[in-house]
Amino acid sequence: MKKKSLVIVESPTKAKTIGRILGDAFSVVSSMGHIVDLPQKKLGVEIDKDFEPEYVTIAGRQKILSELKKEAKNKEVVYVATDPDREGEAIGWQIKERILKKAKILRVTFHEITPAAVNEAFKHPREFDAKMIEAQVGRRVLDRIMGYFLSPLLWKKIARGLSAGRVQSVALRLIIEREREIQKFVSQEYWEIEADLAKGNDKFLAKLEKINGEKIEIKKKEEADKLCDDIRQKQFVVAEVKKSEKRRFADAPFITSTMQQEAFNKLRFNANKTMLVAQQLYEGIDLGADNPVGLITYMRTDSPRAAPEAIKEVREYIARNFGKEYLPEKPNSYKVKKLAQEAHEAIRPTFISRHPESLKNFLTPDQQKLYELIYNRFVASQMTPAVYSVTSVVIEAGQYKFNASGSVLAFSGFMAVYNKTEEEDETNNDKPKKNVIPVLEKGDILELLKLSPSQHFTKPSARFSDSSLIRALEEDGIGRPSTYAPIIYTLILRDYVRRIKGYLNPTELGFKVCDLLVEYFPKIIDVNFTAGMEEELDQIEEGALTRIKVLQDFYAPFKVSVDFAQANIKKEVITTDQICDKCGKPMIVKWGRKGKFLSCSAFPECKNSKSITTGVKCPQEGCGGELIERRSSRGFFYGCSNFPKCTFTSRTLPEEKTQA
């Protein structure tokens, strides 16, 4: 009997889907992700030996590794079909290095888990890509070096258990700097004047822009009222009418960052949730008769490219369902950014024939929402532009000049399928009013129905959301498709940042960590330096740089900064006016796994400690306790100081609820 070939993938779901596609000639098993990594309790990098990493089997994975070796025994061919990126290449290579060497071990990659893509990939297996592996090892070693040397400095200064990272620390700095901008911002009062005008029965709005040809700034109510009194005496005359056509072009199909941004903006999914649901759609959904199939292409990508056969399929769908006027003469193409992995594809549906509506019975609500978003974005990306008819009018009332503009959608184009929602701008909560401009001619006399002065205040930039932070990181060249969600997750897990109503709020601990890193390592957590480091790591994969050269250039100045910090950093002690009720010594503020708390300054001789109360009474009737800030694996919350007698908990303080 012919021996089955072995196929190794990362996840059980992916194994099930691929196993169904390949049939009985193959045995498909899962490695459950990484099998080996750098050791947890030591550096694991031999710096004096060209930064050679020491890989060990991850705790709890020895059994899986043994099972893989057993499965590979006596197999003529072993195929490693892990994900088609650096991480997947490295996972596969680590497996290859540790299972039976007698077998012929080949690499297979595909960007969608469909019968056609998988079967075609297995016709063209390849050797492992040494440059991709070098690039991934370089990243892992660099991140370990930074974390290993920086984290103990945070422990020395602030508290044990804290961490710093190459990209997460820069992301934290962006959040902290934005928060400080908000804190320093001084709001300025200003006024606007709007006129409700009419020509016959047609009404529209116009806004005062200039007086005697000069741009106007109205800062006080008295100024606005005085101007209104004068304007009411004037006759409103149309001075100029301009008509134009504005074309709005479709956006590219999703890459990882844009999918995460739009999923937040449209669905209010955080980055972690988006990637979790996308992975489910990629690895395979059972569509009945125990027949799982991947519904989208690989979800970690920075390339907007789509396969020619996918473009052909979607163009046929557009012509058939919308008409030729919605189909561009040539397929739309989108610019690939520098250092994007062009061999990858955009995130798109694997089959255009699988319309979101047809899959409702097989998908969870979250899967359905994200699949529909991906599907519609891809279809729209190959459609004609939307066309607006825009009318702009200049109206004169004596020395006062008003402007009015309005647009009407003349042709929907791609917007028949997908209308991109820009992220809510919290700096301007005044939603623009829809303005329909009637047919006007130069010289028309208009009727003034109402003159409305309105008070406004300038507002600071909004705090970062998952969406806007990912966009900022991408624009600055920081992080890569696989890192955006883990960056935000880690910042929240460490309690450096809290997600409140969808926005990222830095904590007191986050400020302290950031300030220490900026003081002692200004270059390391500089945006431009980190972006340059990302490029160098990418260039290892291209063969333009070597891993050893990149690490050597980084380590020498980094070690100088570390040595200086170790010699100069002193433990921060924040003494309070509270006295220890056991020994009479002052209580000091410390940070632990569950957040900030009070500890006796005589520790370890006196081990007394207690929680810091918020000063807010527990709302539970008859309790009398105070609310305390606590942390769990699900984030921070407020609990009663009388726990376990009182089990009241809340994500917000009662005052916050009242204000809301």
CA atoms within 13 A on the CB side of 221: 2
Peptide bond into 644 cis (omega under 30): yes
CA 401/CA 380 separation, integer angstroms:
40
Contact 561, 520 (CB under 8 A): yes
Contact 312, 365 (CB under 8 A): no
Does the annotation mark 520 as catalytic?
no
CA 22/CA 497 separation, integer angstroms:
45
Residue 462 per-residue DSSP state:
P
Q: How many CB atoms lie within 10 A of CB 206?
A: 24
CA 83 to chain centre: 21
Residue 101 per-residue DSSP state:
T
541-to-108, 341, 553, 574 alpha-carbon distances in Å: 18, 10, 17, 47
Given the residues 79, 282, 298, 418, select the one marked as catalytic.
298
H/E run at residue 95: helix 86-98
H/E run at residue 192: strand 189-199
CA 289/CA 283 separation, integer angstroms:
17
Residue 525 per-residue DSSP state:
T
CA 9/CA 118 separation, integer angstroms:
13
In the structure encoding, which two tokens stand for residue 182, read together?
A: 């908000």
Nearest Cα neighbor of 594 from 636, 627, 634 is 636
List, in sequence order, every residue forming a beta bridge with 98; answer none if it has no partner: none
CA 26/CA 7 separation, integer angstroms:
7
In the structure encoding, which two tokens stand for residue 101, read together?
A: 């060497």
**Three-state DSSP state, 369:** helix
User: Rounded to 5, what percent of the chain is helix, strand, coil?
Assistant: 35, 25, 40
In the structure encoding, which two tokens stand for residue 631, read together?
A: 């942390």
Q: What's the one-letter identity of residue 645?
A: K
**Three-state DSSP state, 172:** helix
Contact 646, 625 (CB under 8 A): yes
Those residues whose C-beta lies under 8 Å from the C-beta of residue 316, and which sit 6 or more positions away, are: none
Q: How many CB atoms lie within 10 A of CB 161?
A: 12
CA 493/CA 490 separation, integer angstroms:
5
266-to-99, 241, 263, 374, 552 alpha-carbon distances in Å: 45, 36, 5, 12, 44
Sign of CA dihedral 611, 612, 614, 617: positive
> Helix axis angle, 62-72 relative to 86-98, nearest 10°?
70
CA 194/CA 63 separation, integer angstroms:
73
Residue 434 per-residue DSSP state:
P
Phi, psi for 114 (deg, rounded to 5): -130, 160
CA atoms within 13 A on the CB side of 139: 21
The residues that are catalytic are: 298
